[in-house]
Chain A
Amino acid sequence: MIGLTAVFIGAALALNIYVGGARFNAESFVPNIVVLGITRELGPVLAGLMLAGRVSAGIAAEIGTMRVTEQIDAMTTLSTDPFKFLIAPRVLAAVLTLPVLVAVADIIGVMGGYLVAVNSLDFNGATYLRNTFNFLETQDVVLGLTKAAVFGFIIAVMGAYQGYNSSGGALGVGRATTNAVVGAIVLILAVNYLITAFFVE
């Protein structure tokens, strides 16, 4: 799913940059801007938003249901810390896997841009790829993957927090799920800006 998102975004990005670049004879910058836009910004943000919908909601619903059916209370009475048993592994998993997903999404996104550029914008394939990799710097990738790890943290923590504090049966679990997704999305966008600003300085 993230691959599909990435390929279409990369393709659309290439077209838009081509049209915009043509206004001041800068069409040749398509590969540079596509790879920059995807690794620094679109890859992590889009993957973060999609996973906020899937994973945050999933965690909130699961832990929320455990809360309202007293399973979390039961765990406490069995001398097991629900935080260690339920929340920590999920947060860790999200922090570790999101950067991997984003790395894959970045590659697929660049591929999307490449396909459009070569097939319909008459770019030379080898030149396109050379421009892409010569232009890309380590710090672009580091920024993108740092964002991904932070977004993974936000996604898991929002889901777990809302689920853990849910109350009031099915209605409460539904509310927790909605709050988790909305909260994770808003936080991801805000933190995305903060991290970018920090790295630019």
Chain B
Amino acid sequence: MTAKLQLIGLKKKLRGRQVLDGVDLDVAPGKSIVIIGGSGQGKSVTLKCTLGLMKPDSGQVLVDGAEITKMPVEIRARVMRKFGMLFQGAALFDSLSVWENIAFRLIYADNVPRKDARERAIETMRKVRLSPDFADVRPIELSGGMQKRAGLARAIIAKPDILFFDEPTTGLDPITADAINDLIVEMVKELDCAAVSITHDMPSARKISDEIAMLHDGKIVWRGPTSTLDSSGNAMVDQFVAGRADGPIQAVV
């Protein structure tokens, strides 16, 4: 079976620092993988290179076997239809109402009539358990957790093949975070899509993943099924999971 998404030897240098130093990763259809790693180890850059928001210096990103980093922008926009992304701060457009945010892709990229788009937006809001009463308010009036729900609704409305999550639980209280985790698991299962998340929230990582990969110094240093996380035999993973300051990884303060 070919991988849904495959990263091969991704390298990226930013401000003279080798942030990604040959990242290899593959994600099978319907599987959820979580990339863990400390701050500044290249998690966000990996995600940005994969999404085409940043151009890697070398290496390949394959989606369904097609290399996308060198595609012209117009063609890549088509590949983007397979993607859904939930940004860390939800990144909702504050000049549009909540339903217009959720239906953004339908209205502006797929030319769906506004009336139909609104219906689908409200249907999706129900799915992420966001009351349709909020359809016409501005995103700024929503709480952090509700903004995440709206961002998730926007990511899933066009039924993507691959969902990306950038620290989905950051800035949320533990109960809301857990509700978002449940929602992620549920949506990934319902859409039967692959999922790639980055986080350093370990309870969240355990809950939403089938597999965990650890990124350190721009490379994947360990990867395995979530159930084997505690018996990885990798000193760096052990240190990260236990959250100890002493170990092979030096804390960057």
Contact = CB atoms under 8 A, between A and B. Distances in A.
Contact of A80 (B52, B85, B105): B105
Interface of A: 66, 69-71, 73-81, 85
B109 interface: yes
B73 A81 contact: yes
Nearest to B54: A73
B109 A74 contact: no
A77 B47 CA distance: 12
Interface stretch (B62-70, B74-82, B219-227): B74-82
A70 B93 CA distance: 10
B88 A79 contact: no
Chain A to chain B: the 10 pairs with minimum beta-carbon distance, closest first: A79-B109, A70-B91, A74-B91, A78-B105, A77-B85, A79-B80, A79-B77, A70-B87, A80-B108, A73-B53
Interface of B: 48, 51-53, 73, 77-78, 80-81, 83-85, 87-89, 91-94, 104-105, 108-110, 154
Contacts of B154: 74, 78
Contacts of B80: 76-79
A66, A73, A75: which has the most chain B beta carbons within 10 Å?
Answer: A73
B81 to A, nearest CB: 6
Most buried by B among A75, A77, A80: A77
A76 B55 CA distance: 14
B108 A78 contact: yes
A79 B81 contact: yes
A80 B91 contact: no
Contacts of A73: 48, 51, 53, 87, 91
Contacts of A70: 87-89, 91
Contacts of A66: 93
A180 B105 CA distance: 30
Given A70-B88, A73-B87, A74-B85, A79 B93 contact: no
A76 B93 CA distance: 13
A71 to B, nearest CB: 5
A170 to B, nearest CB: 14
B248 to A, nearest CB: 31
Contacts of B51: 73, 76-77
A89 to B, nearest CB: 12
A76 B84 CA distance: 11
A78 B104 contact: yes
B108 A76 contact: no
Given A70-B88, A73-B87, A76-B52, 17 more contacts: A69-B91, A73-B48, A73-B51, A74-B91, A76-B51, A77-B51, A77-B84, A78-B109, A78-B154, A79-B80, A79-B81, A79-B105, A79-B110, A80-B104, A80-B108, A80-B109, A81-B77
Nearest to A66: B93
Contacts of A76: 51-53, 80
Contacts of B78: 79
Contacts of B89: 69-70
A150 to B, nearest CB: 28
Contacts of B52: 76
Given A74-B85, A77-B83, A79-B77, A85 B108 contact: yes
Contacts of B110: 79
Nearest to B104: A78
Identify which of A73, A78, A81 gathers the most chain B CB atoms within 10 Å of its CB: A78
Residue from B78, B83, B91, B110 whose CB has the most chain A CB atoms within 10 Å: B91
A71 B154 CA distance: 13
A160 to B, nearest CB: 15
Contacts of B53: 73, 76-77
Nearest to A65: B94
A77 B90 CA distance: 13
Contacts of A80: 77, 104-105, 108-109
Contacts of B85: 74, 77
Nearest to A85: B108
15 contacts: A66-B93, A69-B89, A70-B91, A71-B93, A73-B48, A73-B91, A75-B93, A76-B80, A77-B84, A78-B105, A78-B108, A79-B77, A79-B105, A80-B77, A80-B104
